[in-house]
């Protein structure tokens, strides 16, 4: 089956630094990537949608200058949390839709990244 590899699985960083999270589609081409954030004991909230080669579309309330998304290739999308603060501590998870697959095709999830900002 389609595999999405997400790295790192967990990261601890100091306040003010930047952290990059990668999602790679290993055996398919991901034209669309959805980035979600999940706070403890809460649901997954969509942060942004990225299409390969295009600028990401951010959900209301998500700062695009703080959460930089790059989807420059069909197998790699990255989320960079810039100038991280403790309130950015959360679980971040990506979900990919493959090229050539209809809009009803399955979405493939990465295993998530637990970010802790100290």
Partner 1 sequence: AQTVTQSQPEMSVQEAETVTLSCTYDTSESDYYLFWYKQPPSRQMILVIRQEAYKQQNATENRFSVNFQKAAKSFSLKISDSQLGDAAMYFCAYRKSSAAGNMLTFGGGTRLMVKP
Which residues contact partner 1 by CB under 8 A? 32, 34, 38, 42-46, 49, 91, 93, 95, 97, 103-104, 106-107, 109, 111-112, 114
CB of 116 to partner 1, least distance (A): 14
Return the number of the residue (17 or 64) whose C-beta is nearest partner 1. Answer: 64
Return the number of the residue (17 or 27) whose C-beta is nearest partner 1. Answer: 27
String of DSSP letters for 13-41: E-TT--EEEEEEESSS-EEEEEEEEE-TT
117 alpha-carbon distance from chain centroid:
17
Return the number of the residue (3 or 15) whose C-beta is nearest partner 1. Answer: 3
CB of 5 to partner 1, least distance (A): 13
68 alpha-carbon distance from chain centroid:
10
* Spatial distance between the Cα atoms of 49 and 63, rounded to a whole number of angstroms: 13
């Amino acid at each position: 089956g389609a595999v999405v590899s997400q790295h790192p699985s967990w990261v601890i960083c100091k306040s003010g630094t930047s952290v990059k999270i990668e999602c790679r589609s290993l055996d398919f081409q991901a034209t669309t990537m959805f980035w979600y954030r999940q706070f403890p004991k809460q649901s997954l909230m969509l942060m942004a949608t990225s299409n390969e080669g295009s600028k990401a579309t951010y959900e209301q309330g998500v700062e695009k200058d703080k959460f930089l998304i790059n989807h420059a290739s069909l197998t790699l999308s990255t989320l960079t949390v810039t100038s991280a603060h403790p309130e950015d501590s959360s679980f971040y998870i990506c979900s990919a839709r493959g090229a050539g697959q209809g809009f009803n095709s399955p979405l493939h999830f990465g295993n998530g990244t637990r970010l802790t900002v100290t």
